[in-house]
Structure 1
Amino acid sequence: MKDLISYSYDETLSIGYKIGKNLFKGAIVTLHGDLGSGKTALARGIAKAFSIDDISSPTFTIFHIYDGKLPVYHFDIYRIEEDDLEDIGYEEYFYNDGVTLIEWADKLKRLYPKECLRIVIEKLDSNVRKIILEGIGDKYKRIEDVVEKDEDFGD
């Protein structure tokens, strides 16, 4: 497990970018945190690593598909149940050749991926976030180990 501190929206984007640069085909990232904690900002940074300029929160549409160097499947499951995910064929996206980002992943129980990069974002004050990375499975532990906070984010 690795903890990083972000002091701004731009720094959160940069941390996401660095995470994205270390993801691979079929990667799943689960995002946990309260409303306004920065889940979508981190997802934007990850998507930027795949040459996707911007993403929006898919709260009312359940998920968006973005085409980049790899497809990015961005889910927001705040308003749906696991049965709804099964009805839309979630496996086609979760276990595909793209990168899957799941906001509000704490709602997943039986569908929670057995291997993933679990990211918890804690809002410490209006601008400061604690970002906790936990690689679940060997291929995700590597990401946890290489992501550092530094000055070259976004380059």
Structure 2
Amino acid sequence: MKELISYSYEETLSIGYKIGKNLFKGAIVTLHGDLGSGKTAIARGIAKAFMVDDISSPTFTIFHIYEGTIPVYHFDIYRVEEDELEDIGYEEYFYSGEGVTLIEWADRLKRLYPLECLKITIQKMDEDVRKIIIEGIGEEYKKIEDVVEKDEDSGD
């Protein structure tokens, strides 16, 4: 597990970008945190690593697909039940292996929570300050956690 502190929206985007640069086709990123904590900012940074200029919060549409160097599947499940995800065929996006899946409000997942993923928890410490906790669940994701740590330690 790696903890980073962000002191601005731009720094949160940059952390997301660093994470995105180390993701792979088929990666799943779960995003946890209270309303306004910075989940969408991290998602925007990750998407930017795949040449997606901007993403919006998909709160009222469940998910968006963004075409970049690889597809980015951006889910917001704040108002969604697991059976609704099953109805739309979530597996096609979570486990297709073709793109990267970002899931905001992933704490709402119970039985559908991925067995392997990059879990990112964001805690709002102050108006601009965020604690970002990165945890790789599974071997491939542990490697990402380690790389982000090395980038941070080397001053990149």
TM-score, normalised to structure 1's length? 0.96
Is 2:4 the partner of 1:4? yes
AA at the equivalent of 2:127? S
In the other structure, the counterpart of 2:49 is 49
AA at the equivalent of 1:47? A
Counterparts in 2 of 1:34-113, with a 5 A limit? Answer: 34-96=34-96, 97-113=98-114
Identity score, percent: 82
User: Aligned partners of 2:118 and 2:124: how far apart in 1?
Assistant: 19
Q: Deviations over 1:44-80 (max 9, x none)?
A: 0000000000000000000000000110000000001
For structure 2, list consecutive stretches of 5 or more residues without a partner in the other structure: none
In the other structure, the counterpart of 1:120 is 121
Runs of 4+ off more than 4 Å? none
DSSP-derived class of the 1:26 partner: coil
Cα deviation for residue 114 of structure 1 reads 0.3
AA at the equivalent of 1:41? A
DSSP-derived class of the 2:53 partner: coil
Q: Higher mean Cα deviation, 99-108 or 139-148?
A: 139-148
Cα deviation for residue 18 of structure 1 reads 0.2
User: Aligned partners of 1:61 and 1:37: how far apart in 2?
Assistant: 21
User: Aligned partners of 1:83 and 1:34: how far apart in 2?
Assistant: 23
User: Aligned partners of 2:8 and 2:141: how far apart in 1?
Assistant: 26
RMSD between aligned residues: 0.9
For structure 1, list consecutive stretches of 5 or more residues without a partner in the other structure: none
DSSP-derived class of the 1:73 partner: strand
TM-score, normalised to structure 2's length? 0.96
Cα deviation for residue 151 of structure 1 reads 5.5
Number of residue pairs the alignment of both structures matches: 152
User: Aligned partners of 1:135 and 1:48: how far apart in 2?
Assistant: 21
User: Aligned partners of 1:151 and 1:79: how far apart in 2?
Assistant: 39
User: Aligned partners of 2:47 and 2:15: how far apart in 1?
Assistant: 12
DSSP-derived class of the 1:17 partner: helix
Which structure dedicates a bigger proportion of its chain to helix?
2
User: Aligned partners of 1:144 and 1:128: how far apart in 2?
Assistant: 21
